[in-house]
Amino acid sequence: MSSGTTLAVETAGLVKTFGETRAVDGVDLSVAAGTVYGVLGPNGAGKTTTIRVLATLLRPDAGTALVFGHDVVHEAPAVRRLIGLTGQVASVDETLSATENLVVFARLLGLNRAAARRRAAGLLDEFGLADAAKRPVAKFSGGMRRQLDLAASLIATPALIFLDEPTTGLDPRTRAQMWQTIRRLAGAGSTVLLTTQYLDEADQLADRVAVIDRGTVVAEGTPDELKASAGQSSLQLRLADPGQTPHAREAIMAVLAVDAIPSPEGGRITAPMDEPDRVADLLVALRDRGIRLAELSVHKPTLDQVFLAITGHETEPQDDREEEEEAVA
Amino acid sequence: MTTLTVPRGPATLTQVIGNSLTMAWRGLLRMRRTPEQFGDVLLQPVLFTLMFTYIFGGAIAGGVKSYLPFFVPGILVQSVVTTSVVTGVQLREDMDKGVFDRFRSMPIARAAPLAGALLADTIRYAIATLMTFLTGFVIGWRPQSGITGVILAGVLVIACSWAVSWIFALFGVLARTAATVQGVSFLLLFPLTFLSNAFVPARTLPGWLQGFVAVNPVSHLVTAARELTSTGGTGPDVWWALLGAAATVVVLAPLTVRAYMRKA
C-alpha cells in the first residue's frame, strides 16, 4: 500500500513549550510510509515530546503535524485510528495479566469477546509470552513488559507505530529480541518511528535518521551519511610525552589521511578512522618516529561524537528539562 | 491476522456505552486482583455505624433503638458518599500510569476511561451500602418498609454517589497528587455531610444553619432514604435527589472529560 511518495509523518515548524522551556523548538520531519525512521538524541532533546504530539497526547503550540495527511490536532480521531503507541513508561496495566490487558484493549477497539481473546492469544504467541499469559504484568521482567507493550500497540494492526526508546534499560539479549521484533514489523510493511539514544540502534534499524538536539533537528539522513560525518570509528591516543602531540598528528595525517583533534587535556588525541585494522600501520609509524604511547583505544562512534561532529558541542545531560516535562505533563 | 474495522467519525452513543462498559470491566478485573482495596468499604461503614449509634443515640433519640430508623439512612449516605472520594484518589493514581497514555492515543470514546472507572466503583458503593445495612440490622434496626424500600434506598444512594464521584473525579484529573485529591475532597465533603440532617434532626440547629441544611443536597438524599426505608413512600426529596444527581453529571462529566483530555 505504501508508495514512495506517501508520507506517514510530516511536521513543519513544530513547537511545544512547557513554561519557559521550549521542549520542541521547530521540528521538521518527513517520514516516508513503509520505512523505519529513527529519531536520535540525548535525554531531554525533545524526542518524547515530539512523539506525544504526533500521538495526539499533546497539543503543539505552533507548527503543524500530519499523520498520513491527517492533522494531529484537528483530525485527532482519524490519527488515532492509524497509530499504535509504545511509550517509554510501559503503557499496560500492572495489576492485570497479559491476556487481560490485551483483551481490554481489543474490546475497546471494537472486537467482540471471542475475537478479542483470539487476538490476545495470537499476539502473546507471536511475542513469545504465551507461557506468561495469565501472570500479572507486575511480575514481568522489563523486557517482557516492553514486548507486551508493543504487542498491545499492534492489536489494530496500525499503519504507523511509535516506539519511544524501545530498548532503553534492556539487557543486550532482550535488546536483540526487540530489534528482531522491530525488523519483523518493518518487514510486514508497517511504518515505524522510533526514538533512541543509541547511534548503534538507529544504525541497525532505521532507514533514515533525524538527529535532534535542544528541540530541533540538527541533521537528517541515512545512518551511513550520519556516521560519515563522525567517522566510522575513532582512535584515541594518550601520549607519554604531551609535547610530541604535533608529531603524532603528522604521523596520523600520513597514515590515515585525517586530521586528528588534540583534546584539551594534555597528550590526548582523537582521530576519526574508517578502517580499524589500519591501527597497526599507525602504531608502526609512531614507533618509527619515536613517539611513545601511554594508552590507545579504538571506539565506535558514539552519540556524543556524532553530536560533537554535527553540533560542535557534547551531549549535555538535560535531565532537569525532562523532569519538568514530566511535571507539567 | 484479524482485520479490524474501527468505527469512523466521532464516537456514537453505542460506542460511548460499549467503551465505558469495557473500562468498567477493567476496573472490576483490577479489583479482583487487589482485594485489599476493599478494606475501607468493608470496615468503615461498620465502625461509623456502631460508633455514632452508641455515641449519639441516647442524646438525640433517647435510645439506640429509636435512633436507628433515623440514623441508618443518614450514616448510609455519609459512608457511601465518602467512599466516592476514593474514586477521585484512585483515578489520579491510575492516570499517572502509562496505560492512560495508551487509552488517550486509542480511537475510543473520550469519556470512556473516566466513565468506566466511575462505573466500576459503584461496586464499592454497593459493598459499603450492604455493610451499613447489615451492621444496622445486627444492632436492632428493623426497617418498616421491608426489603423493597431498603433496596430502593440503597440503589438511590449508590446512584447519587456515582454522580457525586464526578466531582472528585474532576479533582482527580486536575490535582497533581493523590494526596491533594484526598485533602481537597474531604474539605468539601465534611461540611456537606455533617451540615445536613444525617445525624441530628434539622430543627435542633440554629436558624442560619437550618437554612443551609434545607438546601444541602445531602439532606434531600438522606430524607429520601429515610422515607424509602420507613414508609416505603417517595416524597419530593427522591426527585430532588435524582434531579441533583442528574444535574451534577450533566455539568461535571463534560468538564471532567475536557480537563482529562487537555491534561497530557
Contact between A10 and A21 under an 8 Å Cβ cutoff? The reply is no
Task: Please say if the pLDDT value at position A328 is more than 80.
Answer: no
Domain range for A201 is: 7-228
Contacts of A225 (CB under 8 A, 6+ apart): none
- Check whether residue A221 and residue A240 sit in a common domain: no
Element containing residue B158 per DSSP (H, E): helix B146-174
A273 and A168 in a single domain? The answer is no
* pLDDT over 70 at B44, yes or no: yes
Residues A87 and A214 in one domain: yes
Residues in chain B: 264
pLDDT at A323: 38
Distance in angstroms (rounded) separating the CA atoms of residues A246 and A8 = 51
Q: What is the pLDDT of residue A322?
A: 40
> Per mean pLDDT, which of A134-138, A280-284, B174-178 is the most reliable?
A134-138
Q: Are B179 and B139 in contact (CB under 8 A)?
A: no
Q: Is residue A316 part of a domain?
A: no
Mean pLDDT, residues A184-191: 90
Residues A117 and A160 in one domain: yes
CB contact under 8 A, A96 and B29: yes
Residue A228 and residue A276: Cα distance in Å, rounded? 14
Do A108 and B103 count as a contact with CB atoms less than 8 A apart? yes
pLDDT digits (tens, 9 = 90+) for B11-43: 688 888 999 999 999 999 988 888 888 888 899
Q: Which residue type, as a one-letter code, is found at position B227?
A: E
* Average pLDDT of span B223-250: 91
Q: What is the pLDDT of residues A285-298, one digit of tens each?
A: 989 998 888 888 87
**Per-residue pLDDT for A81 more than 80?**
yes
Residue A297, classed as helix, strand or coil, is: strand
Is the four-CA dihedral B109, B110, B113, B117 of positive or negative sign? negative
Distance set, CA A168 to CA A90, A171, A179, A294 (Å): 12, 9, 12, 34
Contact A25, A63 (CB under 8 A): no
CB contact under 8 A, A91 and B99: yes
Give the model's confidence band at B224: pLDDT under 50 very low, under 70 low, under 90 confident, else very high: very high
What is the DSSP code string of B191-207? HHHHSSSSSS-GGGS-H
Question: What is the grid cell recorded at B262?
Answer: 487537555
Our count of domains for chain A comes to 2
pLDDT at A325 over 60: no
pLDDT confidence of A303, banded at 50, 70, 90?
low
Q: Are A216 and A251 within one domain?
A: no
Query: Do residues A20 and A45 both lie within one domain?
Result: yes
Question: Same domain for A31 and A111?
Answer: yes
pLDDT band at B231 (very low <50, low <70, confident <90, very high): confident
Give the pLDDT band of residue B10 (cuts 50, 70, 90).
low
- Cell readout for B257 is 472529560
| Residue A143 within any structural domain of the chain | yes
Mean pLDDT of chain B: 88
**Where residue B7 falls among pLDDT bands split at 50, 70, 90?**
very low
User: Do A237 and A112 share a structural domain?
Assistant: no
Residue A165 scores a pLDDT above 60: yes
Examine the pLDDT at A256 and tell me if it is beyond 90.
no
Could you tell me which residue, A89 or A11, shows the higher pLDDT? Answer: A11
pLDDT category, A61, cuts 50, 70, 90?
very high
pLDDT tens digits, residue range B52-85? 999 988 888 888 888 999 999 999 999 999 888 8
Q: What is the pTM of this model?
A: 0.78
Kindly indicate the confidence band of residue A103, based on its pLDDT and cuts at 50, 70 and 90: very high
Are residues B102 and A91, on separate chains, in Cβ contact within 8 Å?
A: yes
What was the pLDDT predicted at A1?
45
Average pLDDT over residues A168-197: 90
Question: Rounded to the nearest 10 degrees, how much is the dihedral formed by the CA atoms of B132, B137, B141, B143?
Answer: 90
Where residue A318 falls among pLDDT bands split at 50, 70, 90? Answer: very low
* 3-class SS letters over A253-269: HHHHCCCCEECCCCCEE
Per-residue pLDDT of A18-50, as tens digits, reads 988 889 999 999 999 999 999 998 888 899 999
* Nearest CB to B105; choose among A57, A110, A111: A57
CB–CB of A108 and B23 under 8 A? yes
- pLDDT at position B264 is 45
DSSP run (H or E) holding B95: helix B64-95
Contacts of B34 in chain A (CB under 8 A): 95
- Sheet-wide strand order for A293-299: A261-262, A268-273, A233-239, A293-299
For residues B181 and B175, the answer to whether their CB atoms sit within 8 Å is yes
Burial B191-224 (b: 16+ CB within 10 A, else e): ebbebbbbbbebeebeeeeeeebeebbbbbbbbb
Assess if residue A148 is contained within a domain. Answer: yes
What was the pLDDT predicted at B33?
86
Nearest-Cα distance to chain A for B185, in Å, is: 22
Confidence grade of residue A301 (pLDDT, cut at 50, 70, 90): low
A19 with A37, same domain: the answer is yes
Cβ within 8 Å, pair B26-A329: no
Is it the case that residue A3 has pLDDT exceeding 60? no
State the pLDDT at residue A37. Answer: 96
Distances (CA, A) of A74 to A67, A78, A171, B181: 11, 9, 40, 32
**Boundary residue ending a domain (A228, A250, A274):** A228
Whether A268 and A222 share a structural domain:
no
Note whether B198 and B213 are within 8 A (CB): no
**Average pLDDT for chain A:** 86
Grid coordinates belonging to A305: 561524537
Residues in chain B with CB shorter than 8 Å from the CB of A108 are 19, 22-23, 103, 106, 108, 112
Examine the domain organization and report whether A45 and A111 are in the same domain. yes
Q: Could you tell me the CATH number of the domain that includes residue A129?
A: 3.40.50.300
pLDDT in tens, B200-212: 888 889 989 999 9
A2 falls in which pLDDT band (50, 70, 90)? very low
Q: Quick one: pLDDT at residue A90?
A: 77
Nearest CA-CA distance, residue B142 and chain A, Å:
41
pLDDT exceeds cutoff 70 at A314 = no
Beta carbons of A111 and B4 less than 8 Å apart = yes
pLDDT at B115: 87
- Domain boundary assignment for chain B: 36-262
Res B125 pLDDT > 80: yes
Q: Is-contact A70 A79, C-beta < 8 A? A: yes
Rg (CA), chain A: 23
Nearest to A110 among B4, B26, B105 (CB): B4
Distance, in Å, from the CA atom of B99 to the CA atom of B117, rounded to the nearest integer, reads 13
* Planar angle of CA B221, B223, B224, nearest 5 degrees: 65
Identify the CATH number of the domain in which residue A277 sits: 3.30.70.260
How many CB contacts within 8 angstroms connect chain A with chain B?
A: 101
Q: What values do phi and psi take at A191, rounded to 5?
A: -90, 130
pLDDT of residue A327: 38
Does residue A189 lie in a domain region?
A: yes
Same-domain pairing of A260 and A150:
no
Confidence (pLDDT) at A230:
65
Beta strands in A50-174 (DSSP E): 62-67, 70-71, 83-86, 160-164
Residue A319 lies in a domain: no
More confident residue, A329 or A150: A150
